[in-house]
Amino acid sequence: MENTLSLEIIEVVEQAAIASSRLMGKGDKNEADRVAVEAMRERMNNIHMRGRIVIGEGERDEAPMLFIGEEVGICTREDAKAFCNPDELVEIDIAVDPCEGTNLVAYGQNGSMAVLAISEKGGLFAAPDFYMKKLAAPPAARGHVDISKSATHNLKVLAECLSRSIEELVVVVMDRPRHKELIQEIRQAGARVRLISDGDVSAAISCAFSGTNIHALMGIGAAPEGVISAAAMRCLGGHFQGQLIYDPEVVKTGLIGESKEGNLARLKEMGINDPDKIYEAEELASGNTVLFAASGITPGTLMEGVRFFNGGARTHSLVISTQSKTARFVDTIHLFDEPKSLQLR
């Protein structure tokens, strides 16, 4: 699967990033998301694969494309036999976020990217559009920190695992009212806090790379993005745990569903009988082979954003695989027209 898809999924996220970056700073997050979705879907449907969206833009009646359950790839077309033998291709599940951090793009802020994760059928947890409590940490802390423990406890353990003082640790937290007490506890423990407005996938992944000066992600964010983060962290050997949050009172800023009771009923309908279960990365991304790809839309900790020049654009992307156990950064120049010069400005 990796040999067939690695290069092509890079192109999928690159095209989404280029399309969305044209709306950077224009104040229209919905349009930035829409063009990314269209570009991602168009490129995805030119790949010889049998894909199914398990995490996407929402249910069929909420999203015109890349909706949950949508089939993508040349080999899902009615005339697929004219292009390939569908029976010989592995069915794959795909989780996408064509514009992770729409507000970041709309207001020209750092950290937005186009992302997707792929695994064989059944290899990605089909997370409901709820929230998720998350804990991400470097590979050295894998299995040692625990989302069920306090932030103070985890910071002590993390400091020991990394052989540094708590005061040297940086924890990323989403800047939300629900995190007021968490932020206070982290500061009282002695660690430093980096607040972000959006884009916690990038923050989670950054924990797994040395030199990013990000040592943990804590707090509550969107559940679908949690699965995508888990896929990347499983590939990188980092620590990731997630626990679904179904009570609107905990989230404070709104939640899909009208009530805690209604959300619990929905989870039961989805076959989730233990709503308080703590999921490890290997459960959220359980496939034998997991691929993750991202391309920067605006500049971030790991990747540069899209940079346009006369006649083209330059992208910076990342592809990670459990099969080859590699994390490749890809720097690509895209030529749109006959260039007058390849010199970037």
pLDDT tens for residues 152-161?
A: 999 999 999 9
The more confident residue out of 173 and 311 is 173
Distance CA 186, CA 170 (A): 10
Burial label, 84 (beta-carbon count in 10 A; 0-12, 13-18, 19+): middle
**Weakest-pLDDT range from 209-218, 268-277, 281-290:** 268-277
Helical H segments across the chain, by residue range: 2-21, 29-44, 102-106, 151-162, 180-189, 200-206, 223-236, 248-251, 260-269, 281-284
Chain centroid, CA 110 distance in Å: 16
- Of the candidates 129, 47, 43, 42, the residue with the CA atom closest to the CA atom of residue 92: 47
Our CA dihedral for 59, 298, 285, 192, rounded to 10 degrees, sits at -120
| Average pLDDT of the segment spanning 118-141 | 94
The pLDDT value given to residue 259: 84
Distance CA 246, CA 240 (A): 20
143 with 280: CB under 8 angstroms?
Answer: no
The pLDDT value given to residue 255: 60
- When the pLDDT of each residue in the chain is averaged and rounded to a whole number, the result is 91
Phi and psi based region of residue 160 (left: phi greater than 0; alpha: psi -120 to 50; beta: remaining): alpha
| Average pLDDT of the segment spanning 94-123 | 96
Tokens representing 252 are 């404070």
Q: Residue 53 — very low, low, confident or very high, per pLDDT cuts 50/70/90?
A: very high
137 with 156: CB under 8 angstroms?
Answer: no
pLDDT tens for residues 169-222?
A: 999 999 999 999 999 999 999 999 999 999 899 999 999 999 999 999 999 999
The pLDDT value given to residue 250: 87
301 with 214: CB under 8 angstroms?
Answer: yes
The pLDDT value given to residue 4: 60
**Weakest-pLDDT range from 5-14, 86-95, 227-236, 248-257:** 248-257
Who's near 66: CB < 8 A, 6+ residues apart? Answer: 37, 40, 41, 53, 56, 57, 72, 96, 98
The pLDDT value given to residue 64: 82
* Helix/strand/coil (H/E/C) assignment for every residue in 2-13: HHHHHHHHHHHH
263 with 246: CB under 8 angstroms?
Answer: yes
| Average pLDDT of the segment spanning 313-326 | 93
**Weakest-pLDDT range from 212-221, 296-305, 318-327:** 318-327
| Average pLDDT of the segment spanning 113-122 | 95
The pLDDT value given to residue 164: 96
pLDDT at 341 over 90: no
Distance CA 343, CA 310 (A): 8
The more confident residue out of 345 and 106 is 106
| Average pLDDT of the segment spanning 12-30 | 97
* High-pLDDT (> 70) share of the chain, %: 93
pTM of the entire structure? 0.91
